[in-house]
Amino acid sequence: MLIRSCLYWRGRGGSEIRAIAIALFYVIGTALGGITGPVIFRQPIGTGDRGTVLIEYLVAVQVKLTIGVKAERRSLESVAAPLTGIRQRTTASS
């Protein structure tokens, strides 16, 4: 559904590649979280030991704070340079 809505915007300017890239990263991230979450937390939740579950959640939060990108309320350009800008700098330096 998300990819289909991005493909709808395909003829609406130069941002279709950007929209598709955002959609793909969103789909991949959601799939990774949806698949790995239950696999990681299945056993501790099944044992009923709340301490183990708490420790795993705290480890997950620490990983998110360490690796995650602080991107809320920021434009995409301020988080990562547009690919067209990278390509232009590469060809200009050659």
Instruction: Check residues 54 and 84 and name the one with the higher pLDDT.
Output: 54
What is the value of pTM for the model shown?
Answer: 0.47
Work out the angle at residue 21's Cα, subtended by the Cα atoms of residues 38 and 79, and round it to the nearest 5 degrees: 90
Query: Which residue range forms the structural domain that includes residue 10?
Result: 2-93
pLDDT reading at 10 higher than 60: no
pLDDT at position 84: 65
Concatenated DSSP letters of 14-71 = TTHHHHHHHHHHHHHHHHHHHHHHHHHHHHHHHHT-HHHHHHHHHHHHHHHHHH----
pLDDT at position 60: 85
Instruction: Check residues 55 and 10 and name the one with the higher pLDDT.
Output: 55
In this structure, how many other beta carbons lie within 10 angstroms of the beta carbon of residue 6? Answer: 20
Structure confidence by residue, pLDDT tens digits, 29-77: 899 989 988 888 888 888 888 898 899 889 989 988 898 877 778 877 7
pLDDT at position 6: 53
pLDDT band for position 4 (cuts 50, 70, 90):
low
Domains contained in the chain, number: 1
